[in-house]
Amino acid sequence: MQVDLRQSWWIRDVEIPTRLVLAPMAGVSVQAFRRQGRRYGAGLVCSEMVSCAGLEHRNERTLGYLRVSRDEHPLAIQIFGSEPGVMAEAARMVVAAGADIVDINFGCPVRKVTKTGAGATLLDDPERACAIVDAVATAVDAPVSVKMRRGLEDGSRACLSIGPRLVDAGAATLTLHPRSARQMYTGHADHSLTAELAELVDVPVIASGDITSRARAQTVLATTGAAAVMVGRAAQGNPWALSEILDGEAADPSREEVAAELIVFIRETVRELGERRASGFLKKFYGWYLGRGRFPRPFKQEVVQLESTEDVVTRLLAAAPGAAELVEQLEAELPDPADEILLDSMPISIYGGG
C-alpha cells in the first residue's frame, strides 16, 4: 500500500502539511538547516535540544539560538531536563519564542545528558517522566510531543509501557526511535515496536530511525500505522533526500546546485552564529555536502582547511561558477531577517541531542 506522503495530518490543532518530519539533531539543526528542510518538503521541522537549565539560568553563551523565522512554521522546539517545574517554565519560554509544538526529549543517550536524570534515563523513571509531561502540557496551550527510544537496554520494551501513560499525562503525539540508548546509532531500528505503540495510543505516532529512502519510508508507514516518518542523518548535507522520499525524485543534484545550497547555508549560519563560531561549526557540513562523489576528495579536503567562510564561498564559486545565479535565486526567496522573533532577553544553552 502506497501512502501519500504529501497528505497533511494534525498534531492536535496544528496542521502538518506533509508526512515527513525533519529530526532534531545536536550540532546540526540550526535555523538554516530547518529552513532548508522546509523548502525541500519537510512538513514539520524541529530545533536541536535546548537545556531547560540553560533557559532557567539565562546562559548568555548561546544567546540568539532561539530564532524563529516565518518560513519555519510549523516548528517544534525541543527541551530537555529532569525537573517538572523547570521544564514547564522552559516550555513557556519556547512558546513565547514562536514554537508551534513543545517537544520533550526522553531519547538522548549521551552521558552528559543522562547523568543529569534527563534524556533516555527518564524511560526508567515513568513517574517523573509523566510528571514532566503533565507540567509542560498544563503550562502551555501548544501541543506537547515526546521523542523517546525503546528503552535504556537492548531488547527493552519500556516504550510500550510508558507511551500510553505519557499520552494520558498530556502528550499529543509520540516519536519513537526504536533503538536502545545503549545502541546509540548502531544496529537497526526495530519498527515492529513502532507498530505496537501505534496500536496502543490514540495520538499520532512518528516513526524515527533508518528512514533513508522513499521505499523505506513507505514500508514503515504501511506496516506500522505511524502518521509520519522522521528523517535525520540522511538529510545531513543532503536536502535532496527529502525530495526523493516525498516524491521519488532522484537525489542527484548537479555540482552547481550543491555549491549553491552550501553557500546559502554558510551565509545563513554565519548570520545566526557569527563568523567565529560558524567557521568551526560548518566544517562537518562541507564533508556532508561535497561528499557522495559530488566533488573530488582533494577538493573537499582543501575546503575544510580554509580559514574563513568567505574563502570557502569564493572557492566554491570558482569550482562551480554557475552556482552564483542559483545563489541569487535562493537568497531572493528568503524572508527578511527583521521578521524573526529573537529573544534577546532569554539566552539559552544547547547541550546536545538524541
- For residue 62, the model assigns a pLDDT of 37
Residues with a known catalytic role: 108
Question: Sign (positive/negative) of CA torsion 236, 238, 243, 244?
Answer: negative
219 with 259, same domain: the answer is: no
Residue 340 forms part of a structural domain? no
| 243-266 pLDDT tens trace | 999 998 777 899 999 999 999 999
What percent of the chain is modeled with pLDDT above 90?
Answer: 77
Determine the angle formed by the axes of helices 255-273 and 283-290, rounding to 10 degrees.
Answer: 160
- For residue 348, the model assigns a pLDDT of 38
The amino acid sitting at 229 is: V
82 with 229, same domain: the answer is: yes
The 8-class DSSP code of residue 349 comes to: B
What CA–CA distance (Å, rounded) separates 120 from 179?
11
What CA–CA distance (Å, rounded) separates 66 from 45?
14
154 with 294, same domain: the answer is: no
CATH for 150: 3.20.20.70
What CA–CA distance (Å, rounded) separates 261 from 242?
14
- For residue 252, the model assigns a pLDDT of 87
Where in the sequence is the domain holding 113, given as residue range(s)?
A: 9-248
Residue 174 forms part of a structural domain? yes
278 with 191, same domain: the answer is: no
Residue 230 forms part of a structural domain? yes
Residue 131: pLDDT above 70? Answer: yes
157 with 96, same domain: the answer is: yes
57 with 103, same domain: the answer is: yes
Cβ atoms within 10 Å of 200's Cβ, excluding its own: 15
Mean of per-residue pLDDT scores for the chain: 90
SS3 (DSSP) at 96: helix
| 165-188 pLDDT tens trace | 999 999 999 999 999 999 998 999
Cβ atoms within 10 Å of 16's Cβ, excluding its own: 24
Q: Which grid coordinates are listed for 126?
A: 515513568
The larger pLDDT score, comparing residue 123 to residue 348, is at: 123
Locate all alpha helices (DSSP H) within the chain, ordered by sequence.
31-39, 52-56, 84-97, 111-114, 126-139, 158-169, 192-200, 214-224, 240-247, 255-273, 275-281, 283-290, 297-305, 309-319, 323-332
Q: Which grid coordinates are listed for 107?
A: 531519547
Residue 216 forms part of a structural domain? yes
How wide is the angle at C-alpha 255 spanned by C-alphas 251 and 258, nearest 5°?
65
Residue 135 forms part of a structural domain? yes
| 12-60 pLDDT tens trace | 999 999 999 999 998 899 999 999 999 999 999 999 888 877 776 665 5
Q: If DSSP states are collapsed to H, E and C, what string results for 250-291?
A: CCCCCHHHHHHHHHHHHHHHHHHHCHHHHHHHCHHHHHHHHC
Q: Pick from 21, 68, 77, 23: which is nearest to 50 by CA?
A: 77
Residue 334 forms part of a structural domain? no
The total of structural domains in the chain comes to: 2
304 with 180, same domain: the answer is: no
181 with 205, same domain: the answer is: yes
13 with 111, same domain: the answer is: yes
Residue 292 forms part of a structural domain? yes
Last residue of a domain, one of 214, 248, 282: 248
Is the distance from CB of 286 to CB of 315 less than 8 angstroms?
Answer: no
